[in-house]
């Protein structure tokens, strides 16, 4: 039904693939069901959603382990729902209003290593970096495997209907307008592509 109404992509992040750690952060509600969350991309694949986004929130668990299981999840989905396009995101845990600190810190160097590893794993998968990362970091990473960057985006729940963003862990770092991001890409010899799909009835 949603696809017929124009749904193109669904990005659903597992947060962490460590089940016991996951339950510490999601003790209540539907999201507390680890397996239901884990199987969400399968439901999207069976429905025929054009693009599925995966990712772990690096810092809840060792980023190396969560990167490994994200890669395994990607390869399983690609084999099972081979008509679907996939995207990988790399959110890092930010300071939390409740005081939650990363279990294992992921440095800029670690993140670059992870992005390069995913690009070596799959030369075609979309690798996306959000506005949660700094302007300087995003300026330099676009030549190291990233194929999608956001601009003027909201990362907090309901972010496009509430103002301002109220939770510290959802604050963005790169607040440049979309056109400025496009100009940055052009100066680096890259072509901004606004839309790479079209649904024809």
Distances in Å between the Cα of 111 and the Cα atoms of 84, 90, 137 are 26, 8, 10
99 sits in the region (left: phi over 0; alpha: psi -120 to 50; else beta) called left
What range does the domain containing 44 cover? 2-188
Higher pLDDT among residues 64 and 193, named by residue: 64
* Residue 194 domain flag: no
pLDDT in tens, 39-62: 999 999 999 999 999 999 999 999
Q: What is the mean pLDDT of residues 136-162?
A: 78
**Separation in Å, CA 95 to CA 42, 105, 137, 154, 166:** 32, 12, 18, 17, 13
Query: What is the rounded average pLDDT of the residues 94-123?
Result: 86
Q: What is the CATH number of the domain that holds 133?
A: 3.20.20.70
Would residue 196 count as lying in a domain? no
Higher pLDDT, 38 or 199: 38
Tally of domains within the chain: 1
Average pLDDT in the 182-186 region? 92
pLDDT at 106 over 80: yes
Distances (CA, A) of 150 to 3, 89, 147, 153, 199: 23, 11, 10, 6, 22
Residues near 137 by beta carbon (within 8 Å), at least 6 away in sequence: 108, 111
φ, ψ for residue 184, nearest 5 deg? -60, -45
Question: Is 193 domain-assigned?
Answer: no
For residue 195, the model assigns a pLDDT of 73
68 neighbors 56 (Cβ within 8 angstroms): no
Residue written as token pair 């729940």 = 157
**Mean pLDDT score of the chain:** 87
> Angle at CA 39, nearest 5°, toward 73 and 83?
60
pLDDT value at position 131?
Answer: 85
Q: Residue 163: which pLDDT band, with cuts at 50, 70 and 90? A: low
Predicted confidence (pLDDT) per residue in 35-44, tens digit:
999 999 999 9
pLDDT of residue 171: 59
């Amino acid at each position: 039904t949603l696809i017929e109404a124009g749904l193109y992509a669904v990005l659903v992040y597992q947060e962490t693939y460590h089940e016991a750690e996951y339950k510490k952060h999601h003790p209540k509600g539907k999201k507390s069901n680890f397996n239901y969350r884990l199987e969400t991309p399968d439901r999207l694949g069976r429905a025929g959603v054009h693009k599925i986004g995966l990712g772990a929130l690096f810092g809840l668990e060792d980023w190396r382990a969560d990167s490994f299981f994200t890669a395994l999840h990607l390869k399983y989905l690609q084999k099972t729902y081979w008509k679907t396009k996939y995207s990988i995101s790399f959110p890092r845990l930010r300071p939390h209003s409740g005081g939650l600190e990363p279990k294992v810190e992921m440095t800029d160097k670690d993140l670059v290593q992870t992005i390069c590893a995913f690009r070596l794993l799959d030369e075609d998968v979309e690798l996306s970096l959000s506005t949660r990362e700094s302007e300087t970091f995003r300026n330099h990473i676009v030549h190291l495997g990233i194929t999608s960057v956001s601009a003027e985006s909201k990362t907090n729940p309901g972010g496009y209907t509430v103002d301002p963003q109220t939770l510290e862990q959802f604050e963005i770092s790169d607040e440049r307008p979309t056109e400025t991001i496009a100009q940055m890409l052009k100066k680096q010899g890259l072509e901004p592509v606004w839309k790479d799909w079209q649904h024809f009835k």
